[in-house]
């Protein structure tokens, strides 16, 4: 679909021609800006949202000091979609987009939830921080089971960049020697609770599966000038000690310190500008979020790191006569193969033999456990009902029993006596399917007049069968651990709810079947890149951010080399 | 000294000098939209004013909620719902809530009075405490109406009780008194998380 070009006269903001414009300042944008600016390239970061000063961090503010003790009705009014994310609260909802200003559409029978932040740092401000490598079981999944396409790169190509990113970010975790989840460069692991240790032991003994502590981008010792975690709990409200990884405290800080990088906040990129004669991108147009004035900035290369769907939207909205179906979309693949992990299924129960009590003064570990994929492994048996696999996240700890029945003294005592809970939630691979896609909505526009996205996505029979198995497997493992009162859920959450959307500008060797090459460069336009999750060919079942960062780092090294050879 | 400043001093004083830029003071607002909480901000103080009056509930509804709160979360060796001014917070939140949620709450309060009038001839706050407790025992537990065959429904009183209890419980356990009841000591800074330190196989 061809987007209409605005008729507002474009006003050039500056004569400067940057080497690179990075659109988006989250996990991948931060890496692109850091790598390129530290290599001496002149970089401009454009971020659609505002800066968040540390004075807005509220991780230590008790709920009773808030107007509505974290039950604010304001979320239902202006963040009816965003509030589905556990991290969107009365403390920080203004970091999430206002849904009234940032609409998207879906067919009635295909609900999709799109969780977004528009602030400097993007979703890295509130991300779940779980950091897992993909393996060749993922990169070469099509060769393994015949479905879909392999990535145009292998684990060996990306492994050094996983190392680089992990060393810089500071991932705490434990090496397990399990080929389905490659080991990494870890800081000391966080401790497990009694329930989790028992789960690890029993599941290993009885079922041969690996329960490990979550590999998380939270420091367990001082690292690169940042202090270790002090276990207050709610990372998503900011961290004054910068103990969890977010781009403003790390990559963006380094980029800005290089002296080669500018950052313009409140700059909503509406489209990429082309030099049609040269078939090169020459810059981008953005709208100032507050004044609504329009600016054009020029660069020798353009790198989209706006988040998979948002980057795809920019490419669609940049359609030209040469690329009528969206920029860099000669293949017709742009927007297709949208993936988001299948989540929602799992099981929970109680460890009734444990008598530890919860206390609000206990340290709060912002991490859980992880169970490494055990279905459809290389050389192992194949499940008859689904391909690919899933992992689990979860935990076991004492908690208060607010749901206790009754009233009076006994209720008060029951709340405090609490329960020792245990729970496992599956994260399943989402298959890349042509009919899961996004396009530009023919009518709807956002508050800045930019055409909005229309998202079409459902989970298919493979995801449903996989999550049913995940629920049963979770119950089996809880049973093996000695849990009681086990309750299962085999229902999938709405697509988008994992907030792991990837795949809408996929990589590939064949320009007719893919948008990007293995260096995140568009096949069609030599100086246009998409370095966020849009390039994923398959989703694996691991949380995607670590891989996005490693791919961005890898592709930036390649781009730096091309600059050195004057190829850009 | 204000709470956040106090915290910054106590926590950051022990950290590397790299963080002194954060500790040195609150930067000026760079953007008018920034939703910062002023130093010492504590919304609960407003509710504690001596001239407080309900804004959403009427006097009777407020008294009903107050009495019910003290029955559900009574004063024991720790403060109960009354001392935590649970009714005031609920009134404040209801005032901002959607019409649907407001209406559900009022329906549940009205159920209480209707059912008490039916059984005891008077509204909830006008019957003796003995009867209040007796009535709560009827509605406080999961309560199925099973008619031998497969006709099965929930006793409506339990749904209304749970609705009111949920409001009271949330308001109480998220108040300062309620957090202290759960062991909150006022600090969020914990040096480490030690986890299970038992020898393998001895997790009790």
Whether residue A68 lies within 8 A of chain B, CB to CB, comes out as yes
Mean pLDDT for B146-152 is 73
The tokens of B120 are what?
């005891």
**Backbone conformation region of residue B200, classed left if phi is above 0, alpha if psi is from -120 to 50, else beta:** beta
pLDDT at A232 over 60: yes
pLDDT at position B6 is: 37
Which residues of chain B neighbour A193 with C-beta distances below 8 Å?
Answer: 195-196
Whether residue A205 lies within 8 A of chain B, CB to CB, comes out as no
Which pTM was predicted?
0.93
Indicate the range of A56-60, B26-30, B74-78 predicted with least confidence: B26-30
Cross-chain residue pair A71–B188, CB shorter than 8 Å: no
CB A244 within 8 A of CB A235: yes
How far apart are alpha carbons A421 and A484 in whole angstroms?
10
pLDDT at position B204 is: 59
Mean pLDDT for A530-540 is 98
pLDDT at position B30 is: 42
Task: Name A439's Cβ contacts closer than 8 Å, sequence gap at least 6.
Answer: A1, A316, A335, A453, A454, A456
**In this complex, which of A65, A225, A355 lies closest to B43 when CB atoms are compared?**
A65
pLDDT at B10 over 80: no
Which residues of chain B neighbour A94 with C-beta distances below 8 Å?
Answer: 33-35
What was the ipTM of the complex prediction? 0.91
Indicate the range of A6-15, A128-137, A351-360, A418-427 predicted with least confidence: A6-15
pLDDT at A547 over 60: yes
pLDDT: is A355 or A451 the higher one?
A451
What is residue A163's three-state secondary structure? helix
pLDDT at position A407 is: 98
Percent of the residues in chain A that have a pLDDT greater than 90, as a whole number = 96
Q: How confident is the model at residue B41 (pLDDT cuts 50, 70, 90)?
A: confident
Whether residue A195 lies within 8 A of chain B, CB to CB, comes out as yes
Q: How confident is the model at residue A354 (pLDDT cuts 50, 70, 90)?
A: confident
pLDDT at position A532 is: 98
pLDDT at A86 over 50: yes
pLDDT at position A6 is: 45
Q: How many CA atoms lie within 13 A of A94 on its CB side?
A: 14
pLDDT at position A132 is: 98
Which residues of chain B neighbour A365 with C-beta distances below 8 Å?
Answer: 193, 195
Cross-chain residue pair A63–B174, CB shorter than 8 Å: yes
pLDDT at A129 over 50: yes
pLDDT at A239 over 90: yes
pLDDT: is B168 or B28 the higher one?
B168
**Beta partners for residue A286, in sequence order:** A269, A295
Q: How confident is the model at residue A220 (pLDDT cuts 50, 70, 90)?
A: very high
Cross-chain residue pair A361–B187, CB shorter than 8 Å: yes
**In this complex, which of B26, B98, B189 lies closest to A232 when CB atoms are compared?**
B189
Alpha carbon of A258: minimum distance to chain B alpha carbons (Å): 18
Give the closest residue to B8 by CA, choosing from A90, A61, A233: A61
**In this complex, which of B76, B169, B179 lies closest to A64 when CB atoms are compared?**
B179
**In this complex, which of A197, A402, A416 lies closest to B169 when CB atoms are compared?**
A402
Mean pLDDT for A327-345 is 98
| Cα–chain center distance at A313 | 17
Q: How confident is the model at residue B171 (pLDDT cuts 50, 70, 90)?
A: very high
pLDDT at A4 over 60: no
Q: How confident is the model at residue A182 (pLDDT cuts 50, 70, 90)?
A: very high
Alpha carbon of B161: minimum distance to chain A alpha carbons (Å): 10
Mean pLDDT for A502-528 is 98
pLDDT at position B190 is: 87
Indicate the range of A320-329, A346-355, B133-142 predicted with least confidence: A346-355
Alpha carbon of B155: minimum distance to chain A alpha carbons (Å): 15
Which residues of chain A neighbour B98 with C-beta distances below 8 Å?
Answer: 73, 76
Mutation pick from A194, A199, A407 vs chain B, by most beta carbons of B within 10 Å, is: A407
Mean pLDDT for A454-461 is 98
pLDDT at position B32 is: 52
How far apart are alpha carbons B111 and B12 in whole angstroms?
53
Instruction: For A145-159, write each residue's pLDDT tens digit.
Output: 999 999 999 999 999
How far apart are alpha carbons A59 and A93 in whole angstroms?
14
Mutation pick from B31, B73, B170 vs chain A, by most beta carbons of A within 10 Å, is: B31
Mean pLDDT for A396-412 is 97
Cross-chain residue pair A402–B173, CB shorter than 8 Å: yes
Which helix (H) or strand (E) segment is A299 a member of? strand A294-304
**CA angle, B68 then B70 then B75, to 5°:** 165
Count of other CB atoms within 10 angstroms of residue A406: 16
Which residues of chain B neighbour A63 with C-beta distances below 8 Å?
Answer: 174, 179
How far apart are alpha carbons A207 and A194 in whole angstroms?
19
Mean pLDDT for A522-537 is 98
**In this complex, which of A64, A191, A412 lies closest to B193 when CB atoms are compared?**
A191
Q: How confident is the model at residue A13 (pLDDT cuts 50, 70, 90)?
A: low
Q: How confident is the model at residue B201 (pLDDT cuts 50, 70, 90)?
A: low
A·B CB contacts under 8 A: 189
Alpha carbon of A363: minimum distance to chain B alpha carbons (Å): 5
Which residues of chain B neighbour A353 with C-beta distances below 8 Å?
Answer: 204
Cross-chain residue pair B203–A69, CB shorter than 8 Å: no
Cross-chain residue pair B192–A241, CB shorter than 8 Å: no
pLDDT at B21 over 50: no
Q: How confident is the model at residue B19 (pLDDT cuts 50, 70, 90)?
A: very low
Alpha carbon of B63: minimum distance to chain A alpha carbons (Å): 18
The residue ranges of every structural domain in chain B are 54-181
Mutation pick from A51, A67, A396 vs chain B, by most beta carbons of B within 10 Å, is: A67
Q: How confident is the model at residue B143 (pLDDT cuts 50, 70, 90)?
A: confident
How far apart are alpha carbons A475 and A212 in whole angstroms?
18
Give the closest residue to A50 by CA, choosing from A272, A317, A334, A248: A248
Alpha carbon of B150: minimum distance to chain A alpha carbons (Å): 24
Which helix (H) or strand (E) segment is A186 a member of? strand A186-187
pLDDT at position B33 is: 62
Alpha carbon of A191: minimum distance to chain B alpha carbons (Å): 5
Cross-chain residue pair B71–A407, CB shorter than 8 Å: yes
pLDDT at B22 over 80: no
pLDDT at position B26 is: 36
Q: What is the mean pLDDT of chain A?
A: 96
pLDDT at position B154 is: 81
Indicate the range of A2-16, A100-114, A225-239, B83-97 predicted with least confidence: A2-16
**CA angle, B143 then B144 then B149, to 5°:** 165
pLDDT at B20 over 60: no
């Amino acid at each position: 679909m061809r987007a209409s070009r605005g008729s507002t006269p474009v006003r050039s903001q500056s004569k400067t021609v940057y080497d690179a414009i990075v659109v988006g300042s989250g996990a991948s944008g931060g890496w692109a800006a850091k790598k390129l600016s530290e290599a001496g390239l002149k970089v401009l970061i454009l971020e659609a949202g505002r800066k968040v000063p540390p004075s807005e961090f509220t991780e230590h503010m008790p709920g009773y000091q808030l107007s509505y003790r974290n039950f604010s009705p304001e979320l239902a009014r202006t963040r009816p979609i965003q509030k589905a994310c556990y991290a969107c609260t009365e403390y920080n909802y203004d970091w999430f987009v206002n849904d009234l200003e940032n609409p998207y559409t879906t067919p009635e029978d295909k609900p999709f939830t799109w969780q977004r932040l528009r602030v400097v740092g993007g979703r890295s401000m509130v991300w779940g921080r779980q950091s897992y490598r993909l393996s060749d079981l993922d990169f070469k999944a099509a060769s393994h089971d015949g479905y879909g396409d392999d990535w145009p790169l292998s684990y060996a190509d990306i492994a050094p960049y996983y190392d680089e990113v992990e060393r810089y970010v500071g991932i705490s975790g434990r090496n397990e020697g399990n080929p389905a989840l490659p080991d990494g460069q870890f800081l000391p692991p966080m401790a497990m609770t009694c329930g989790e240790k028992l789960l690890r032991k029993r599941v290993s003994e009885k079922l041969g599966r690996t329960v490990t502590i979550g590999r998380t981008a939270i420091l367990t010792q001082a690292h690169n000038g940042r202090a270790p975690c002090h276990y207050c709990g709610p990372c998503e409200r900011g961290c004054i000690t910068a103990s969890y990884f977010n781009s403003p405290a790390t990559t963006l800080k380094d980029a800005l310190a290089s002296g080669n990088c500018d950052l313009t906040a409140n700059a909503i990129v509406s489209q990429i500008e082309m030099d049609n004669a040269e078939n090169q991108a020459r810059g981008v147009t953005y709208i100032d979020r507050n004044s609504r004035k329009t600016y054009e900035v020029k660069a020798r290369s353009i790198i989209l790191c706006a988040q998979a769907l948002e980057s795809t939207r920019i490419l669609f909205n940049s359609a030209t006569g040469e690329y009528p179906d969206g920029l860099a979309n000669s293949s017709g693949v742009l927007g297709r193969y949208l993936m988001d992990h299948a989540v929602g299924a799992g099981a929970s129960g109680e460890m009734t033999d444990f008598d530890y009590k919860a206390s609000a003064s206990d340290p709060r570990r912002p991490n859980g456990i992880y169970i490494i994929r055990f279905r459809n492994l290389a050389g192992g048996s194949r499940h008859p009902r689904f391909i690919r696999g899933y992992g689990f996240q979860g935990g076991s700890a004492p908690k208060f029993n607010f749901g206790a029945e009754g009233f009076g003294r006994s209720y008060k005592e029951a709340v405090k006596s609490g329960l020792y809970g245990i729970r496992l939630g599956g994260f399943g691979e989402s298959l890349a399917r042509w009919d899961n896609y996004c396009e530009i909505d023919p009518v709807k526009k956002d508050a800045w007049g930019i055409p909005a996205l229309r998202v079409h996505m459902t989970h298919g029979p493979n995801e449903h069968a996989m999550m049913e198995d995940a629920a049963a497997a979770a119950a089996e493992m809880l049973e093996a651990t000695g849990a009681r009162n086990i309750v299962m859920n085999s229902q999938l959450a709405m697509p988008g709810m994992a907030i792991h959307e990837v795949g809408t500008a996929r990589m590939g060797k064949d320009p007719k079947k893919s948008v990007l090459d293995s260096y995140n460069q568009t096949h069609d336009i030599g100086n246009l890149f998409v370095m966020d999750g849009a390039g994923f060919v398959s989703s694996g079942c691991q949380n995607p951010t670590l891989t996005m960062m490693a791919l961005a780092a890898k592709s930036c090294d390649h781009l730096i080399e091309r600059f050195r050879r004057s190829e850009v | 000294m204000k709470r956040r400043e106090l915290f910054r001093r106590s926590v950051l004083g022990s950290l590397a000098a790299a963080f002194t830029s954060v500790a040195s003071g609150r930067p000026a607002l760079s953007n008018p939209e920034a939703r910062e909480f002023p130093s010492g901000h504590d919304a609960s103080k407003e509710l504690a004013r001596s001239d407080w009056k309900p804004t959403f509930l009427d006097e009777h509804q407020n008294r009903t909620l107050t009495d019910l709160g003290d029955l559900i979360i009574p004063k024991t060796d720790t403060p109960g719902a009354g001392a935590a001014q649970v009714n005031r917070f609920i009134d404040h939140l209801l005032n901002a809530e959607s019409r649907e949620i407001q209406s559900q709450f009022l329906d549940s309060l009205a159920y209480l009075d209707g059912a008490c009038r039916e059984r005891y001839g008077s509204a909830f706050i006008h019957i003796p405490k003995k009867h209040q407790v007796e009535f709560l025992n009827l509605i406080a537990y999961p309560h199925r109406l099973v008619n031998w065959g497969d006709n099965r429904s929930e006793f409506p009183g339990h749904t209304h009780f749970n609705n009111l209890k949920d409001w009271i419980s949330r308001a109480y356990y998220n108040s300062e008194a309620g957090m202290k009841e759960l062991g909150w000591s006022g600090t969020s800074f914990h040096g480490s998380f030690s986890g299970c330190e038992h020898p393998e196989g001895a997790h009790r």
